[in-house]
Amino acid sequence: MKLAVLAGDGIGPEVTAQALRVLDALRLPRLTIWHGDVGGAGYRRHGHPLPPETLEMAKAADAVLFGAVGDPDCDALERRLRPEQAILGLRRELGLFANLRPARMFDGLEDLSALRPEIARRIDLLIVRELNGDVYFGEKGMRRTADGRREGWDAMSYAEDEVRRIARTGFAAAASRKGRLTSVDKANVLETSQLWRDVMVETAAEFPEIALDHLYVDNAAMQLVKDPGQFDVIVTGNLFGDILSDQASMCVGSIGLLPSAALGERQTEHGIFGLYEPIHGSAPDIAGQGGANPLAAILSAAMMLRHSFGREDDAARVEQAVARTLASGIRGYDLGGQAGTLAIGDAVLANL
């Protein structure tokens, strides 16, 4: 098993280090670990946020464990050189179109949700976010209008095959869970979304056992705080999924808790090739202080064990160790507690 570790910027390396301690403790046989530069770190060392050698390393691996990219010092660079292009480039170049972002309430955290505990208690949902299209990857630019005003523009589009493959991921995920799929779009305004909805309905015929419904994204954002327990699987586009997943994180207590898996179609020896990362970013406001919550990174490693390394038992062990850590009262600063990054890592290892 070949693992490419791309820790990146800010708290990326801090939280990834804890995930690596957990992997180390599992003593996985035949695991080779490579480290590559990405993001602002990639730009500083190689002049590019996604240096060619890093991309080659990722391609040669069975899985990528990703930290975070983003650096305020790089925000004025031309867009193609900004740190965020590293993660966008990896998703695109590696064909990782399906982003699984699970959010569930851990025992003991009910009172720490941004929602009332009786509302938060029932959360157990999965956001299936499309990751290779939408307004993220359309043409974009800055131009002048005829009367000389500056105008920024970004083209939003989805082709039917792009929608169909993520629809199938969503239906299949629902089939392995509670059998309910909610497709989120803005079909009342956007043609992109009308096609999205049409293809969702067409694809439903392949999955007669799944209950499909549709929400407009504004209503979905509202329902997510009104009654998040109503959701099983949510399937949505790149932009809406980005926003709703950060929102879902606060419903379960903190963005420091939500892992993700970005999957494509390439099979590896033990599973499917994937890139695994917390949903949060480089958090420059807390970087370097040892206070970031590493649980999202650790849970991302668990998803990697499950999907790419075919080690369901180890994945479940790691998830149980995280659940026990939280149940025992260990809380990061993000959850109003006193435990720093290292202390949380220590507690997970002890529970493991």
Q: Judged by CB under 6 A, does residue 112 bind ligand NAD?
A: no
Angle at 9 between CA 7 and CA 10, to 5 degrees: 115
**Stretch near ligand IPM under the rule CB under 6 A, chosen from 82-90, 120-128, 154-162, 195-203:** 82-90
Q: Which stretch binds ligand IPM (CB under 6 A): 83-91, 115-123, 216-224, 322-330?
A: 83-91
Both structure tokens of 186 = 């803005």
Nearest to 92 by CA among 50, 128, 62: 50
Task: Say how many C-beta atoms besides its own lie within 10 A of residue 265's C-beta.
Answer: 11
Partner that binds at residue 253, options ligand IPM, ligand NAD, Mn ion, none, CB closer than 5 to 8 Å by kind: none
Dig out the tokens for 218 from the structure: 């504004």
319 binding partner (options ligand NAD, Mn ion, ligand IPM, none; Cβ < 5 to 8 Å by kind):
none
Name the catalytic one among 218, 226, 227, 313. Answer: 218
Helices (H), the chain: 12-25, 39-46, 52-60, 84-93, 117-120, 160-175, 191-204, 217-226, 238-251, 295-307, 312-327, 341-351
Rounded to whole angstroms, the Cα distance separating 11 from 283 reads 6
Single out the residue of 88, 318, 326, 352 in contact with ligand IPM (rule: CB under 6 A): 88
- The span from the CA of 9 to the CA of 286, in Å, is 12
The answer for residues whose C-beta is within 8 angstroms of residue 252's C-beta and 6 or more apart is 103, 104, 105, 106, 109, 113, 120, 123, 258
**282 part of the interface to ligand NAD, by CB under 6 A:** yes
Question: Catalytic residue at 285?
Answer: no
Task: Determine which residue in the list 6, 22, 61, 68 makes contact with ligand NAD, applying CB under 6 A.
Answer: 68
Chosen from ligand NAD, ligand IPM, Mn ion, none, partner binding at 127 (C-beta under 5 to 8 Å by type): none
x-or-dash pattern for ligand IPM, window 30-69, by CB under 6 A?
----------------------------------------
The closest alpha carbon to 65, from 21, 106, 109, 25, belongs to 21
Considering only CA atoms, give the Rg of the chain: 20
Out of 242, 314, 319, 334, the only residue in the binding site for ligand IPM (CB under 6 A) is 242
Question: 210: closest CA among 171, 163, 164, 183?
Answer: 171
- CB-wise, 26 or 244, nearer to Mn ion? 244
State yes or no: residue 248 binds ligand IPM (CB under 6 A). no
As given in the structure block, the two tokens for residue 346 are 């220590």
Instruction: Give me the least distance between CB of 247 and ligand IPM, in Å please.
Output: 12
Per annotation, catalytic residue among 242, 276, 314, 333: 242
Q: Are residues 240 and 189 in contact, defined by beta-carbon separation less than 8 angstroms?
A: no
The Cβ of residue 278 has, within 10 Å, a number of other Cβ atoms equal to 30
For the question of residue 186 being annotated catalytic, the response is yes
Residues near Mn ion (CB under 5 A) are 242
- N residues, the chain: 352
Q: Which does 88 bind (CB under 5 to 8 A by kind): Mn ion, ligand IPM, ligand NAD, none?
A: ligand IPM
Q: Which of 9, 37, 43, 186 does the annotation list as catalytic? A: 186
Q: Which does 120 bind (CB under 5 to 8 A by kind): ligand NAD, Mn ion, ligand IPM, none?
A: none
For tokens 């949902």, name the residue. 125
User: Of the candidates 84, 130, 134, 185, which one interacts with ligand IPM according to CB under 6 A?
Assistant: 84
Q: Are 39 and 101 in contact (CB under 8 A)?
A: no
- Report the first-to-last Cα separation within the chain, whole angstroms: 21
Is residue 218 flagged as an active site residue?
A: yes
Within 216-245, which residues bind ligand NAD (CB under 6 A)? none
Q: Which does 293 bind (CB under 5 to 8 A by kind): Mn ion, ligand NAD, ligand IPM, none?
A: ligand NAD
Decide: is 23 part of the binding site for ligand NAD (CB under 6 A).
no
Minimum gap (Å) between residue 249 Cβ and Mn ion: 10
Establish whether 198 is a catalytic residue. no
CB atoms inside a 10 Å sphere around CB 42? 25
Catalytic residues: 136, 186, 218, 242, 246
Per CB under 6 A, residues contacting ligand IPM are 84, 87-88, 242, 279, 281
